[in-house]
Amino acid sequence: MIGRLLPIIIFVLLGILLAAGLKIADQKSDLPSPLVGRQMPAFSLPLLGQEDVIVNSDDLLGEPILINFWASWCVTCRVEHPVIEELAASGALKIIGLNFRDETEDAQAWLRQFGNPYTMIIQDYSGRTSIDFGVYAAPESFLVDEKGTIVYKQLGALTPEAIEQEILPRIGKQGSMAR
């Protein structure tokens, strides 16, 4: 009896395994950031196009901020741009642009073309700070609370849904992006 059922049982188990695999296939390449829940990496970097103005990571503390890693070579950043602009216009929180591995002129041309939604733009020319943040794709956004703890990381473009469901609730605001 059990000998006859065994192939069927194995078949069903295999089916469940494959179905589960398909289900997670979309997010399989999304790495959970080990930085969530930790203090953001310290950095000391100039503003974009103003090499003599240095911003320290500690200067940014005191209110929740969204650090948005972007670059002019990043195609998805263009897709994301209107969403960032909308969030900036809502005034929900400060958005700090972190331009990385990019040429100053290219970045500035990009801003002229698409608009600048950022409170300030910090330049990480070498990409060393982006490594400290574990950035491996672009764009990536980090929600940092007033004490400097990373509370959420968005891999890839921010969407209105992500802002609605992940960002705003974490800073105690709701619905300002609702349509």
Partner 1 sequence: MQNKIRIYAALVWLLLAVQAVAQEPPAFDTPEQEERYKNLTTELRCAVCQNQNLADSDAPLALDLRQEIYDMMQAGQSDDQIKTFMVERYGDFVLYRPPLQGNTLALWIIPGVLLAGGAVVVFFTVRNRNRKLAAQHKEGSS
The correct pick among 12, 17, 31, 53 for binding partner 1 (CB under 8 A) is 31
The correct pick among 133, 157, 162, 167 for binding partner 1 (CB under 8 A) is 133
Please state, in angstroms and as integers, the Cα–Cα distance from residue 175 to each residue in 4, 49, 54, 157, following that order.
57, 35, 35, 20
167: closest CA among 92, 57, 60, 77? 92
Instruction: Give the CA radius of gyration of the chain.
Output: 21
Q: List, in order, residues 6 or more apart from 101 with CB less than 8 Å away.
A: 71, 73, 124, 125, 126, 127, 130
26 binding partner 1? (CB under 8 A) = no
Please state, in angstroms and as integers, the Cα–Cα distance from residue 121 to each residue in 1, 16, 46, 94, 167, following that order.
70, 48, 9, 11, 20
9 binding partner 1? (CB under 8 A) = no
32 binding partner 1? (CB under 8 A) = yes
The correct pick among 29, 75, 91, 179 for binding partner 1 (CB under 8 A) is 29
Q: Is the peptide bond before 139 cis (omega within 30 degrees of 0)?
A: yes
Q: List, in order, residues 6 or more apart from 118 with CB less than 8 Å away.
A: 68, 84, 88, 95, 96, 97
Total site size for partner 1, rule CB under 8 A: 14
The correct pick among 85, 86, 132, 145 for binding partner 1 (CB under 8 A) is 132
* Beta carbon nearer to partner 1, 35 or 79: 35
The correct pick among 78, 101, 170, 173 for binding partner 1 (CB under 8 A) is 101
| Chain residues 36-75 in contact with partner 1, contact rule CB under 8 A | none
152 binding partner 1? (CB under 8 A) = no
| Chain residues 102-131 in contact with partner 1, contact rule CB under 8 A | 127, 131
Interface contacts to partner 1, rule CB under 8 A: 29, 31-35, 101, 127, 131-134, 136-137
